[in-house]
């Protein structure tokens, strides 16, 4: 009888073992560091401030003479290609989520005119950009089918029986 082990002690030479986190999940490739001075948008996404195209115009709504004289409405224009730290799937999610804000299919146009202050409207536009990028950068949760529990089956059958009894009592059987 041979005393050799049944399985080779090392993994196959053409397959490298997968590194795992302490929770047993595979490690993901590290995201590239954003450049110095980049504006963080959340979940590793960033953009350089020089790539933000701001324009300001007169806002509508109440405000009297102030609204007629000052350009407080902020319009932020961002090219989707200038957003860093997003993978291809996140970019596609961003296109579908922000489809009403897309211009020419490549530029994201965000307007803010809620406030009578240009600075506040500028911050509001940046908040919207962060929110939509964060939503796109978060992968959707995959729904896993589960088997109905015994209790849920019993409740469903009991409910069906009650509804059936209720409807059968509606019939008048003339004797």
Domain ranges of the chain: 39-137
- Are the beta carbons of 61 and 113 closer than 8 angstroms? yes
Quick one: average pLDDT of 35-58? 91
Query: Using one digit for the tens of pLDDT, what is the confidence trace for 79-123?
Result: 999 999 999 999 999 999 999 999 988 899 999 999 888 999 999
- Residues 67 and 57: beta-carbon distance below 8 Å: no
In this structure, are residues 84 and 46 in contact, taking their beta carbons and an 8 Å threshold?
Answer: yes
Structure confidence by residue, pLDDT tens digits, 127-143: 999 999 999 999 999 99
Q: What is the CATH number assigned to the segment(s) 39-137?
A: 3.30.160.20
Q: How many CA atoms lie within 13 A of 47 on its CB side?
A: 20
């Amino acid at each position: 009888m041979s005393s050799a082990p049944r399985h080779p002690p090392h993994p196959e030479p053409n397959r490298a073992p997968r590194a795992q986190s302490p929770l047993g999940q595979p490690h993901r490739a590290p995201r590239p560091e954003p450049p110095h001075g980049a504006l963080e948008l959340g979940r590793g996404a960033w953009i350089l401030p020089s790539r933000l195209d701001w324009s300001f115009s007169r806002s509508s709504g109440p405000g009297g003479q102030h609204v007629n004289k000052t350009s407080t409405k902020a319009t932020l224009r961002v090219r989707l290609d200038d957003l860093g730290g997003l993978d291809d799937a996140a970019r596609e999610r961003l296109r579908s989520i922000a489809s009403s804000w897309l211009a020419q299919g490549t530029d994201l146009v965000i307007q803010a005119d809620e406030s009578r202050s240009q600075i506040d409207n500028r911050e509001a536009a940046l908040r919207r950009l962060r929110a939509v990028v964060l939503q796109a950068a978060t992968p959707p949760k995959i729904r896993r089918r589960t088997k109905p529990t015994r209790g849920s089956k019993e409740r469903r059958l009991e409910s069906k029986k009650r509804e059936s009894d209720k409807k059968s009592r509606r019939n008048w059987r003339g004797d």
